[in-house]
């Protein structure tokens, strides 16, 4: 019996939710505090493992920062595009004089992370830091069936070419 699944069906994770894609961005700005409707209440049990891993990644990034790098953790971004007003919250941004790195942390590789980075966070970072090149990095703990286009071994090895880099951090 021949399988109807393609190679990409087996290796590329499925998307679980609709993710906003930036179209004709008018403006973007950082918010000083979280929007009131997004302030955290009690964290559901299913999310605690992912948030703990995200904190570990943040601690690691802090230890690797150079003197000219600034880490922005969980900063909210308000923006307006062709779809109207929106909010976004990349996990981490590392800003350097010439580059900005956008990090999205997932326990397992996710198509959602790729779409978030390339279609939402990347365009927002490019708008917020127009004088800097932008690198997009998905950070994962579990590599289940992943065949990444570009694997990096240190977070600041990512190239600023719009393509996604994958950092496997255990």
Q: Where are the domains of the chain?
A: 79-170
* Residue 3 confidence (pLDDT) above 70: no
- Top-confidence residue, 97 or 48: 97
pTM comes to 0.86
- Does residue 27 carry a pLDDT above 90? yes
Q: Is 70 exceeded by the pLDDT of residue 161?
A: yes
Look at strands 99-108 and 92-95 and give their pairing: antiparallel
- At 13-26, the pLDDT tens digits run 455 567 899 999 99
Alpha helical stretches, state H, 36-159: 45-64, 111-115, 122-128
Read off the pLDDT of each residue in 132-143 and give the average, rounded to a whole number.
Answer: 93
The tokens describing 49, both together, are 């493992």
Query: Percent of the chain scored above 70 by pLDDT?
Result: 84
């Amino acid at each position: 019996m021949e399988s109807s699944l393609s190679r990409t069906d087996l290796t590329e994770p499925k998307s679980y939710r609709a993710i906003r894609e930036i179209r004709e961005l008018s403006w973007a700005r950082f918010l000083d505090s979280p929007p009131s409707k997004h302030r955290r209440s009690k964290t559901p049990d299913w999310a605690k493992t992912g948030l703990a891993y995200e904190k570990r990644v943040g601690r690691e990034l802090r230890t690797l920062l150079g003197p000219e790098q600034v880490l922005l953790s969980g900063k909210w971004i308000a923006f307006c595009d062709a779809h109207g007003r929106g909010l976004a919250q990349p996990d981490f941004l590392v800003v350097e004089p010439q580059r900005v790195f956008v990090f999205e942390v997932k326990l397992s590789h996710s198509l959602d992370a790729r779409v978030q980075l390339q279609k939402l966070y990347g365009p927002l970072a490019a708008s917020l830091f127009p004088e800097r090149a932008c690198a997009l990095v998905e950070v994962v703990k579990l590599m289940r069936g992943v065949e990444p286009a570009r694997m990096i071994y240190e977070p600041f090895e990512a190239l600023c070419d719009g393509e996604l880099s994958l950092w496997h951090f255990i």
